[in-house]
Amino acid sequence: MGSEAVAFSRPLIAVEAQAEIERVLASGWVTTGPECTAFEEEFAAWVGAEHAVTVASCTAAIELSLRALHLPEGAKVLVPTITFCGAVGAIVHAGLTPVLVDVEADTGMVSPATCTAAARACGGADAMVVLHFMGYPAPVEELAEAAGLPIWRVVEDAAHALGTYVDDRQVGSISKSTCFSFYATKNLPIGEGGMITTDDDELAAWVRKARLHGMSSDAWRRYLPGGSWRYSVTEAGVKANLSDVQAAIGRAQLRHLDQWQRRRADIAARYSAALADVRGLELPQLPVRGRHAWHLYVVRVKPGFARDRDSLTEHLGAAGIGTSVHFIPLHHMPYFRVVAETPPGGFPGADAVFPELLSLPMHQGLTDDEVDTVCAALIEANTHITAQEVVQ
Ligand SMILES: *Cc1c(COP(=O)(O)O)cnc(C)c1O
C-alpha cells in the first residue's frame, strides 16, 4: 500500500473522439451546428425523450428550464439542501427564491414528508428541482404531489442520473424538463456540456432560442443556403450553447454508454460484496424498483467504524486513494443561508447524514484491482490504528 494511486475519478474519452474532433475542425463549422443536432437526436433516442437540446452545462440547463416556466420574480423553488451548489445558483440566476428541503437521515435524499414540510413552511412552493442523488431514482411524481405541485412545475436535476430508471421509466422522459451534465466526472464526460430533454415541442423551441441570446434564428441556420441574415429577439436569453466540437466528443462517448453503465454496476457490486461485513460501514442500497445509474458509490461511515469520516478520508488519501464528499449541505454555506429560505426546524436529517458521507472512487475506467485496493485499504483502516493515531 502507499504506492498505488487510485483516482477518485478519471475522464475516459473514447479514442474515436480524436478523429471526430479533427473532422469537425476541418469542416469549417465549429460552434453550434449540425454536430449538435446529431448529438441531440442520438441522445434523445438513448433516453427515450421526444427532444434533446444541447446547452453549455447542467447548471445552464436548470436555469433555462426554470426560466421557461415564466414564474413571477422571487417565486419559490424547492431544492434539497444536500445537492451541488450550482443547482441552487441556477435558481437564483433565474430570478427565483430557493427553498432548501431537508433530506432523510437514512437515504440522504428528500422524501414526500420533507417536501410537504418545506412547502408548508414557505407558504406554498411554485416549482421544485428534483435530484436523483448518486444516480438513485427519486420518485419524481410522488415528490411533486407531496409538494402540492403539478408535474410540469418539476425540473429534474439528472446530473447523476444518466441511465437511471424510476420504476420502468427512464430519467429524461418523466417530467417536462430534465437536465443532464457532461462535466468531466459525470457518466458521459465531454469535459463541459449539458442537455435538456423534454417531450414538449414548445419548451424545446423556447430553449433553442434562449440558449443563444434569445435570437429567433441561430447562426447555423442563417448561414445555410437560402438562410437569411435576419433575426429578432423577443425576450432576454443567455449565452449557453454547446459547440460542435464538444458535440462530436459527446456522440463518440454515447456509443460506449451502455457498456460503461454496465461497468459501473459491476464496480458497485464488487464494492458491495467486498465491504458487506465491514463493521461501521453502511453500504449504498439498490433501488427496490427502477435502476441505479451508479454515478457515485457513497458509503456511510458510522460510529461503529474505527475512524470518523474525516480521519478516514485523510488515511485513504495518504495511501493514494482519492475520495470525495457529496455534498456539503447548502445551509452550511453563508451565501445560501442568506438567499435561500430555510425551515424553522432546521435540517436534522442533513446534519445527521453529512458527517458520515464518503464517496469512493467510481468511474467507468476503474479496474477490478483498483476496487480491491480501495476495499483492502478500508478494511485495514478499520482494524489497524497506529500508536501515533491513538495518542492523537
Ligand atoms: C455536476 C452537477 C451539476 C452541474 O453540472 P454542470 O454541467 O457542471 O453545470 C448540477 N447538479 C449536480 C447534482 C451535479 O452533480
Does residue 231 belong to any structural domain of this protein? yes
pLDDT tens digit sequence for 329-355: 999 999 999 999 998 899 999 999 999
Does 374 contact ligand 1 (Cβ within 6 A)? no
Q: Is the CB of 183 under 6 A from ligand 1?
A: yes
Q: Which residues are catalytic?
A: 186
Domain identity same for 245 and 119: yes
- Scan for cell 497506529, then name that residue: 386
> Cell 480491491 appears where?
372
What spacing in Å lies between the alpha carbon of 159 and ligand 1's midpoint?
A: 5
CA distances 292 to 90, 182, 359, 383, Å, are 25, 18, 15, 31
State residue 82's pLDDT score.
Answer: 98
Instruction: Compute the distance between CA of residue 207 and CA of residue 55 in angstroms, rounded to an integer.
Output: 9
Ligand 1 pocket, residue 58 CB under 6 Å: yes
Position 160 pLDDT exceeds 60: yes
Domain count, the chain: 2
Percent of the chain with pLDDT over 70: 97
Interval between CA 61 and ligand 1 midpoint (Å)? 10
Segments forming the whole domain that contains residue 110:
15-256
Domain endpoint, select from 223, 256, 289: 256
State if residue 86 touches ligand 1 by the CB under 6 angstroms criterion. Answer: yes
Determine the distance separating the centroid of ligand 1 and the alpha carbon of 340, expressed in angstroms: 19
* Residue 186 CA, closest ligand 1 atom number: 1
Same structural domain, 233 and 315: no
In a domain, 57, yes or no: yes
**Ligand 1 atom nearest to CA at 157:** 11
Query: For residue 228, what pLDDT is reported?
Result: 85
Neighbouring residues of 269: CB distance < 8 A, sequence distance ≥ 6: none
User: Which grid cell sits at 151?
Assistant: 408535474
Residue 121 has pLDDT above 80, yes or no: yes
**Residue 377's CATH number:** 3.90.1150.10
Work out the angle at residue 269's Cα, subtended by the Cα atoms of residues 266 and 270, and round it to the nearest 5 degrees.
Answer: 85
Is there a cis peptide before residue 327, judged by omega within 30 degrees of 0?
yes
Instruction: Identify the domain boundary among 205, 221, 256.
Output: 256
Is residue 5 one of the residues assigned to a domain? no
- Whether residues 300 and 243 fall in one domain: no
- Residue pair 72/215 in contact by the 8 Å Cβ criterion: no
Ligand 1 pocket, mutate which of 54, 55, 57, 58 (most atoms under 8 A from CB): 58
Q: What is the DSSP string of 261-316?
A: HHHHHHHHHHHHHHHTT-TTEEPPPPPSSSB---S-EEEEE-TTSSS-HHHHHHHH
131 lines ligand 1 (CB under 6 A): yes
